[in-house]
Structure 1
Amino acid sequence: MYQRLLVPVDGTELSGRAMEESIRLARQLGAEITGFIAEPAVALPSSIGTHPDRYQRAATAHEEMTAEHARKLLGRFEARAREAGVEFKGHYTRNNNIDAAIADAAHEQGCDMIVMVTHGRGAFGELLFGSHTKAVMSRSKLPVLVLH
C-alpha cells in the first residue's frame, strides 16, 4: 500500500484540512508524511544594474521571510503529525512553478502518493485562476488524492 505521502501546504485554511486528513490517512495506512511548501522565488527587478545593493537586501529579506514561514508552517504540521503518532519530515523549496515543484518533490522525496486539497472553484474559476491540482495530476505519475 502507500508508505510515503507528500502533502503540499501553503498556510491557508484549506491546507489545515490537508494536514488533518493526511494525518488521519497516514495513521490508517501506517504511512509517513512529507509536508511540502513551495515558496515563491524572489522576482528579478527590471533595472538590476541601477541598484544591485537594494536588490540584494530585498532578496535576502525575501529569503529570510519565506524560510521563516516554511519553518513555522512545517513545524505546526510536524507537531500535529507527531502528536498523532505519524512520522513526519518537512521540505520546502523556492519555486514560482508550484505544480512542477510539487511533482518534483514527490519524486525526489521518494513518495508514493500526493495528497492535495482543491478550492473546487468550478470551470469558470479554473479558467481565471488555474488549477494546481489538475496540473500536478498531469505532471506526476503518482496517484493524487484530492480533497474537497
Structure 2
Amino acid sequence: MYKKILLPVDGSETSALAANAGITFARQVGAEIVAINVTQPFSTLIGFDGMAASYAISDGDYEEAAKKEAEEYLKPVLERANAAGVKATSVIVSNYNVADGVVDAAKEHGCDLIYIATHGRSGLSRLLLGSVTTKVISLAPVSVLVYRMPDSSAA
C-alpha cells in the first residue's frame, strides 16, 4: 500500500499525537517514515522594514537555534519509531512557506503519503492564521492522511 510516509512535526501536542498515530499506521502497513520539521529562514523574522536590530540575534545564531529546536522535535519521533520496529529517518528543511517545505520534502524523499496533523482551527483564527494542512492538501502530489485530535468532550 504505502512504502514511505512523510510525518511532519512542529513540536505541538497535536503533532506529537499525530506522530504516534503515524508510526502505528506505518507499522501496520509495513512502511518506513521520514519525520520532518520545517524551519523558516531568519529573514522571515525581520519584517517588512528590513530592520532586525530589535531581535538582537544574528542569522547564524537563529539558524543554529532553529536546527537545535527541530532536532529536539524529531528525536522522540525517531525513538518511538525505533521502539515500534519502524524504519525511520529525519530531515530538517528551511522554507519560507511550511506547506511548500513539506510538499517539496515528500517529492525529494520519494514519499507516497503525507501523514499530517490538523489543529482544527475554524472561523476567524483559521482565516487569520491559515492552515498549513489545508495548503499541503492542495499542493501535494501524493495522498494526504489528516490526523485530527480526538474529541475529548465526547468522553
CA offsets 1:36-66 (integer angstroms, 9 cap, x no match): 0001210275258xx8xxx9x6111111101
Q: Which residue of 2 aligns with 1:97?
A: 97
Residue type of the alignment partner of 2:35 = G
Identify if the C-alpha distance between structure 1 residues 96 and 29 changes in structure 2 by more than 3 Å, giving closer, same or farther. same
TM-score, reference length from structure 2: 0.86
SS at the partner of 1:2? coil
**Segment of structure 1 superposing worse, 27-36 or 68-77:** 68-77
SS at the partner of 2:142? coil
What pairs up with 1:105-124 in 2 under 5 angstroms? Answer: 105-124=105-124
Q: C-alpha separation between the residues in 2 aligned to 1:64 and 1:123? A: 36
Q: C-alpha separation between the residues in 2 aligned to 1:86 and 1:76? A: 13
Q: Which residue of 2 aligns with 1:87?
A: 87
TM-score, reference length from structure 1: 0.89
CA offsets 1:11-55 (integer angstroms, 9 cap, x no match): 01111111100010001000000000001210275258xx8xxx9
Q: C-alpha separation between the residues in 2 aligned to 1:47 and 1:147? A: 38
**Segment of structure 1 superposing worse, 122-131 or 19-28:** 122-131
Q: How many aligned positions are there? A: 144
Identify if the C-alpha distance between structure 1 residues 47 and 20 changes in structure 2 by more than 3 Å, giving closer, same or farther. closer
Q: Which residue of 2 aligns with 1:43?
A: 43
What pairs up with 1:1-148 in 2 under 5 angstroms? Answer: 1-43=1-43, 45=46, 46=50, 58-148=58-148
Identity %: 37
Residue type of the alignment partner of 2:25 = L
Residue type of the alignment partner of 2:100 = A
Q: C-alpha separation between the residues in 2 aligned to 1:32 and 1:145? A: 15
Q: C-alpha separation between the residues in 2 aligned to 1:125 and 1:73? A: 25
Q: Which runs of 5+ in 2 are unaligned?
A: 149-155
